[in-house]
Structure 1
């Protein structure tokens, strides 16, 4: 029989780290101004890290028999965490920000601490997907040319395949390395319109030349030549002949000077005489799945940012209740939050029924658009993935409780507004029976002037779905609904503002465990109508 005392062993070695009597290694980290020295023991370093083993072999001792290792590219904060792990086998990242965890993973990999590096990589993928999606260039360029971090590479490859629009619309992407950008442009499965790819390449190229005039009409030949040189490896990867003619004229013609003359002549000919052969290389079209593309955007008048305009129900498409060719079947695994019984109850509320539908008579399919634990908890993700979808249910599970709260929006979400109140008489918010919640709560809109609020584009990094006067809102100042407890279901014991009653009995804000957005689609069921 073996008796194992790892906790005591970890504690003793952690105390050894702080023992200054018999150390024989000094490790200097960080740069001037932040430089810090740590003491350690060569025998521990050698057995815990092959990197330190090789380093110590090549370093001579000083007159005091001390070896000094200099690592200016590791911050003192990161190295202190690593050294505690080397001695005690424990790291505490509970209070660390995600960027620190990422840098810890990279440095652990450099120091050949594979166990720690792999564990942190898994943690980032499983728990910090939202952060990874909004810091693509920061992460992607450091893993792209490496044969390490296979999990992160798969994460980004899957992301590019499934949600390419998110990739090309992130501001962070303008700092992506050219080699990484080229690897993306080479993909045939890049499920996004080619003109969007062209526009991004132009945006990326201009960002690399900050001295270019902001007004294109002021560009000189030298300006166009500078842009052409910057994106010369990207230009041959654009599938020009699969871009609609009107887009060629609108978006490519202004930059025709950066194209080869033969290519521009062929594009012009193709526009005017589509049946004539061309001399330029014609790349195959990318694989585009139109079912995954967002609905047509809703045009909104240019309004002063100081004005908070209102859109009425008649201005937006209402209940999209179309029958899909392949409808999603409601089953036990369709949601991580709600059950089939909840679907029956929510469906009856949509139709303003006084009684709940029987399970076999539910008239709607709940088609999953977004799941936080799958797609990330960044507010921007909500606006990107739900844009254009009308007739949707948002459900969220509150952290540390069994509460399920949410809201129904019969109108289309729109991420192109300047911050507007939206009118509708058909929205509602709710709390669902679950765990300690004995009864569900339905709260209908009573003042339609601010039934919903669509966040300004600059606020979409913090604000998600918003019903009434914060009567149900998902919000985060750190761009992660699971982190800083700013989500709210505003409670007023006397009266609510825009919905008839509160759906929680506290004004305490909260973070969420998970949330989902479903598109409500009518089944083909006889004698079932939509009110």
Structure 2
């Protein structure tokens, strides 16, 4: 049974590898505890294992053991179980979990989950009693990040505590008697923290906190960094060699289409900045509130309109079927305006039939001429609308943005429900479960295509700045 369920045991228990004593096979794995091996045997022989009855430590050991024994199905199940069912335990034991999984590429899902969770709320982790025991490679990776919303002075204080713990001869020295340290003590601490000091955003520390918390450790800071920081506090001159973006935290968005890091790009676009521009803390005041999701509300024109009608500041995301490609658009004016003829004069829409444009792709497309001249089919003016694409849910290298160029024709008014939504003259439009992408000249032509896709998933968010 063991050989049949595990390729590891198939080799380990083969005639070429087994060791026998008194006609019994001797299997020695001192790195696997009896409890964990019992869990392995239960799984192999019964196909079932109640992880809820075991401690978090034993479940984590089981994860590593199942990876070593090449029990792939069990490994994936245990990794998902830890993430979904043992969230609190993981948060209380980040250091243990990260030390255990950081060097195993197969545990990337759990490793990334830990780092993302820390970045969402870093202070409890940085101030925990186990933080000074954190592996230096993990600490370095965290300090490089700018998506942690935490006061820089807290990072500095925790780094000092970590350095004292990690430096031989300093771990038992109370910080309160630091004035008794000699030059060799400071040199030892400087050596420990040498690679980390350039990762501190000193300019984000207030002058009073700098005076009280940083200046006393002048001896461990490289001279060129200290001089640049001093010049910043006295003259307001930004450092030339140590300027890093401020730690601004990360966006939270209830999306199953894209990862949060792409929202930072979209936020930059909303603010008319370069996609990779550094965010500031004010950007985190943007909130993306889910108002429509296809698998929940239905992928059709009626469902989209019912959820988004007369809303403004809307972000739309579309995942295409049989493709990693993601399209989207942002409009501050929404997609529908309920005007009557006395409020808004009728403006004929120069409709170009989608049947001709997408010949051979779709058997039916609406013909707006059938709605007659009484149909309120004007465009909605906008200077700030744009459409965009990503090559995957976490791809931040191959994105494209097309900003509106004809402000008068930014959004096609969808009051009578011809579309789910329509940017320009079908530059990006939803027609039930189809998405059409083309070039009308109303938006920049960065897509350079006339394509049709089947919508796999679609979401709409109301964007608010608090």
**TM norm structure 2:** 0.50
- Is structure 2 residue 244 aligned with structure 1 residue 284? yes
Distance 1:182 1:116, change over 3 A: same
Partner residue in 2 for 1:211: 172
Q: Is residue 146–residue 246 contact of structure 2 (8 Å, CA) maintained in 1?
A: yes
Q: Secondary structure in 1 aligned to 2:51? A: coil
- In the TM superposition, what is the alpha-carbon distance from 1:63 to its structure 2 partner? 6.2
Q: What is the CA–CA distance in structure 1 between the aligned matches of 2:174 and 2:251, rounded to whole Å?
A: 39
Pairing partner for 2:41 from 83, 95, 120: 83
**TM norm structure 1:** 0.44
Q: How does 1:456-475 map to 2 (within 5 A)?
A: none
Q: What is the CA–CA distance in structure 2 between the aligned matches of 1:244 and 1:281, rounded to whole Å?
A: 20
Q: Higher helix fraction: Structure 1 or Structure 2? A: 2
Pairing partner for 1:102 from 35, 41, 60: 60
Q: String of CA shifts for 1:245-278, please: whole Å, max 9, x gaps.
A: 2222111111111111222222222222224x75
- Is structure 2 residue 199 aligned with structure 1 residue 260? no
Pairing partner for 2:146 from 171, 175, 188: 188
Q: String of CA shifts for 1:377-405, please: whole Å, max 9, x gaps.
A: xxxxxxxxxxxxxxxxxxxxxxxxxxxxx
Q: Is residue 122–residue 150 contact of structure 2 (8 Å, CA) maintained in 1?
A: yes
Partner residue in 2 for 1:223: 185
Gaps of at least 5 residues in structure 1 are 1-43, 293-324, 334-531
Partner residue in 2 for 1:51: 8
Q: Is residue 188–residue 287 contact of structure 1 (8 Å, CA) maintained in 2?
A: yes
Q: What is the CA–CA distance in structure 1 between the aligned matches of 2:228 and 2:77, rounded to whole Å?
A: 53
Q: String of CA shifts for 1:135-172, please: whole Å, max 9, x gaps.
A: 00000112112211233123223213321223322222
Pairing partner for 2:160 from 196, 202, 210: 202
Aligned Cα root-mean-square deviation (Å): 3.1
- Is structure 2 residue 201 aligned with structure 1 residue 243? no
Distance 1:289 1:234, change over 3 A: closer
Q: Is residue 146–residue 248 contact of structure 2 (8 Å, CA) maintained in 1?
A: no
Q: Is residue 121–residue 148 contact of structure 2 (8 Å, CA) maintained in 1?
A: no
Q: Is residue 205–residue 230 contact of structure 1 (8 Å, CA) maintained in 2?
A: yes
Q: Is residue 101–residue 111 contact of structure 2 (8 Å, CA) maintained in 1?
A: yes
Aligned residue pairs: how many?
Answer: 258
Q: Secondary structure in 2 aligned to 1:149? A: helix
Gaps of at least 5 residues in structure 2 are 253-284, 294-466
Q: What is the CA–CA distance in structure 1 between the aligned matches of 2:38 and 2:232, rounded to whole Å?
A: 62
- In the TM superposition, what is the alpha-carbon distance from 1:179 to its structure 2 partner? 0.6
Q: Secondary structure in 2 aligned to 1:74? A: coil
Q: String of CA shifts for 1:40-98, please: whole Å, max 9, x gaps.
A: xxxx2221111222223452443645432211111111111211222222223343222
Q: What is the CA–CA distance in structure 1 between the aligned matches of 2:292 and 2:102, rounded to whole Å?
A: 39
Distance 1:142 1:55, change over 3 A: same
Q: String of CA shifts for 1:452-498, please: whole Å, max 9, x gaps.
A: xxxxxxxxxxxxxxxxxxxxxxxxxxxxxxxxxxxxxxxxxxxxxxx
Q: How does 1:398-417 map to 2 (within 5 A)?
A: none
Q: String of CA shifts for 1:17-36, please: whole Å, max 9, x gaps.
A: xxxxxxxxxxxxxxxxxxxx
Q: What is the CA–CA distance in structure 2 between the aligned matches of 1:330 and 1:241, rounded to whole Å?
A: 36
